[in-house]
Every structure is written in structure tokens, then in C-alpha cells.
Amino acid sequence: MGLKTSTVYRCLDKKTYIFGFEVIDLFLVFTVLALLNFILGHVPYKFLFTWGPTLGLAVFIKIIKRGKPENYLQHLIRSYFQPKVLSAFALAKRRPKFVKLKGSKL
């Protein structure tokens, strides 16, 4: 009986880059392109008004992310939408405040 072997891939944790951009960055760039094309589809010089800001955004992302860790943009966006105070326990309910009314015999 022979020894069973299988191939082991060494780059399982390697990130996928397309033209030097991560997938989430390309998703953002193409979403902006689609929205601008939808909004400015009937305008003259549509090519300039849709591709200009999109290419500017792509260059901006490339410059900002230089030297930053992987998924930097995703973590940055997530930090803006996350609550600022994190707690391990649920917040306690507010206790009602009892006020003595004038004329009451309590």
C-alpha cells in the first residue's frame, strides 16, 4: 500500500490584486463610475464627467493606501459606522426617578 499524498497550496493567505488594487477598492471605484454614468448619462461630455472623477478617485486611493496594511479602506469605513463606545455587557435600563409631589403623603 502506497503513501497517499495531496498538493498543498502555499499562498492561501495571499491577497488578490487586480491592477494593483484590492477587490474592495475596485468595487468602490466601479460603483462611483456606475453612479456617475447613471446620473450624468444624458449630459454632453459624459465621458469626461464620468471617467474624470472616477480616475481621480482611483489615483487618490492608490496614493492614500501607499504603505498601509491590507484591507485598510474596509477597516476605515467600518470604524466610522461602528459605535464609539464598545461594551462587553448590555446597557442597563434607566431607573425611573420618583419625585415627591406636592401635597402627597409619602
Q: Which helix (H) or strand (E) holds 37?
A: helix 23-39
7, part of any domain: no
Q: CA quadruple 43, 44, 45, 46: dihedral positive or negative?
A: positive
21 by DSSP, 3-state: which? Answer: strand
Mention every residue, 6+ apart, whose C-beta is less than 8 A from residue 26. 18, 19
101, part of any domain: no
100, part of any domain: no
pLDDT value of residue 34: 95
8, part of any domain: no
CA distance 75 to 65: 12
pLDDT value of residue 39: 92
Count of the separate structural domains present in the chain: 1
pLDDT > 70? residue 8: yes
1, part of any domain: no
25, part of any domain: yes
53, part of any domain: yes
The count of other CB atoms within 10 Å of the CB of residue 22 is 19
Mention every residue, 6+ apart, whose C-beta is less than 8 A from residue 49. 36, 40, 43
Q: What is the pLDDT of residues 24-75, one digit of tens each?
A: 899 999 999 999 999 988 888 888 999 999 999 999 999 988 888 888 888 8
| pTM more than 0.85 | no
24, part of any domain: yes
Residue 52 lies in domain: 17-81
